[in-house]
A = this chain, B = another copy of it.
Amino acid sequence: FATRRMFPAFKVRMSGLDKKAKYIMLMDIVASDECRYKFHNRRWVVAGKADPEMPKGMYIHPDSPSTGEQWMQKVVSFHKLKLTNNISDKHGYSILNSMHKYQPRFHLVRANDILKLPYSTFRTYVFKETEFIAVTAYQNEKVSDV
């Protein structure tokens, strides 16, 4: 069983925020489709129906809450998000099924305080290009060749 950070990390650059207001940023990961994949002849191919998914929590960016000004002045990186394939993990990391396809989602909330989160409006953004297949070992040689 392995627990590692997501690589490469999910990163966003923000603009148009209210400089003075405070924001909380979150992300989560949802299953993309109902398939299990395999890596055959250097290609990803569907290999049956997906395994059941574990419930996944919300990952709150550790700099939350911060002002719009602070968020906008550098790229916001979620590199500390941890993934695992250990279904009995107790640390609250995102539990993914290996060889399944996932979609990260980004949530922006205007709130002064984590305690106010549940009262607040979530704005959710999905970037299709961040979709990925979870693996236990890199399949693409180009990744290790960096």
Q: Which of B58, B67, B92, B118 contacts A118 (CB 8 A)?
A: B118
Q: Which of B58, B63, B65, B66 contacts A115 (CB 8 A)?
A: B58
Shortest Cβ distance from A60 into B: residue: B114
Determine whether the beta carbon of A65 is less than 8 Å from that of B92: yes
Report if A91 contacts B (CB, 8 A). yes
Binary contact readout A46-67 vs B (1 if CB under 8 angstroms, 0 otherwise) = 0000000000011010010111
Binary contact readout A80-117 vs B (1 if CB under 8 angstroms, 0 otherwise) = 00000000001110000000000000000000011111
- A92 CB contacts on chain B under 8 angstroms: 65-66
Interface size classification for chain A: 10 to 19
Shortest Cβ distance from A116 into B: residue: B118
Nearest-neighbour CB distance to chain B for A96, whole angstroms, equals 20
Nearest-neighbour CB distance to chain B for A80, whole angstroms, equals 11
- A60 CB contacts on chain B under 8 angstroms: 114
Report if A127 contacts B (CB, 8 A). no
Q: List 16 A-B contacts (CB under 8 A).
A: A57-B113, A58-B115, A60-B114, A63-B91, A65-B92, A66-B90, A66-B92, A67-B90, A70-B90, A114-B114, A114-B117, A115-B117, A115-B118, A116-B118, A118-B118, A118-B119
